[in-house]
Amino acid sequence: MAVYIVLGLAVLLLLSSFRILYEYERGVVFMLGRFWKVKGPGMVLLIPVVQTMQRVELRTIVMDVPSQDVISRDNVSVKVNAVVYFRVVDPEKAIIQVENFFEATSQLAQTTLRSVLGQHELDEMLAARDRLNADIQTILDQQTDVWGIKVANVEIKHVDIDESMIRAIAQQAEAERLRRAKIILAEAEQQAAEKLTEAAKMLSAEPQAIQLRYLQTLNEVAGDRTNTIVFPLPMDLIEPLLKKLKT
């Protein structure tokens, strides 16, 4: 009976020494507490008691960064959240160099998000997200490299602004539109004045041109539906007649 018990325990111990690793998994094996090698995928045989193994997944991990309170460079308080895509490229470093690589990456992403966005104004957060995403991704990738982690992408999801600040931004935008409209109107008036000045100079150089323009204006006025038309008579037209009468 004792023999059967010993054989049963031996079989159970042997079966427990086998591990199956999927294609996207690797096993970091330790022998008597020391790193031995990285194994997988497939079946892995461990020496009971002597060897232990920790699984590491190599697929891209999608990590949601909780909403962070950020004060922009122009002193606007906003809440920003993001998503980080990363994967383990060196299982040995991911297990040995940091206690919990997922938690460590999450905390680092939160602090980096606040640090980078705090150096920019609100307008940049809203209009230049691609550049800010690239800056955050570069910093995270450099700092997590010692953990055997590759940060593939960072995306800022939402930039939430207080309602009072939204109203202030709307007023600022309206004031900016009014300013641009006034500038365009002033430029149009300036251009019109310049053209009128040029036309006056050209007409003053040719008196006959002034008379023709006057007659054209009379023709246009006469075409209106008016009963009585009162218009001044230029001296340029009367002066030749007066000279003939005197002679």
| Domain match, 114 and 187 both | no
Residue 225 domain flag: no
Residue 239 domain flag: no
> Long-range contact list for 227-236, CB < 8 A, 24+ apart?
234/210, 236/207, 236/210, 236/211
| Domain match, 9 and 53 both | yes
Task: Report whether pLDDT(57) > 70.
Answer: yes
Q: How far apart are CA 239 and CA 245, in angstroms?
A: 10
Q: What is the end-to-end Cα distance of the chain in Å, rounded?
A: 159
- Please report the pLDDT score of residue 227 as a whole number: 55
- Four-point Cα dihedral 239, 243, 244, 247, nearest 10: 170
Q: How far apart are CA 242 and CA 247, in angstroms?
A: 9
Which domain range does residue 209 map to?
168-220
pLDDT in tens, 126-143: 888 899 999 999 999 999
- Please report the pLDDT score of residue 229 as a whole number: 58
Task: Report whether pLDDT(242) > 80.
Answer: no
Question: Residue 83's domain is classified under what CATH number?
Answer: 3.30.479.30
Is 27 or 13 the better-scoring residue by pLDDT? 27
Residue 121 domain flag: yes
pLDDT in tens, 113-130: 999 999 988 888 888 889
**pTM metric for this prediction:** 0.66
pLDDT in tens, 182-225: 899 888 888 888 887 877 777 666 666 666 666 666 666 666 56
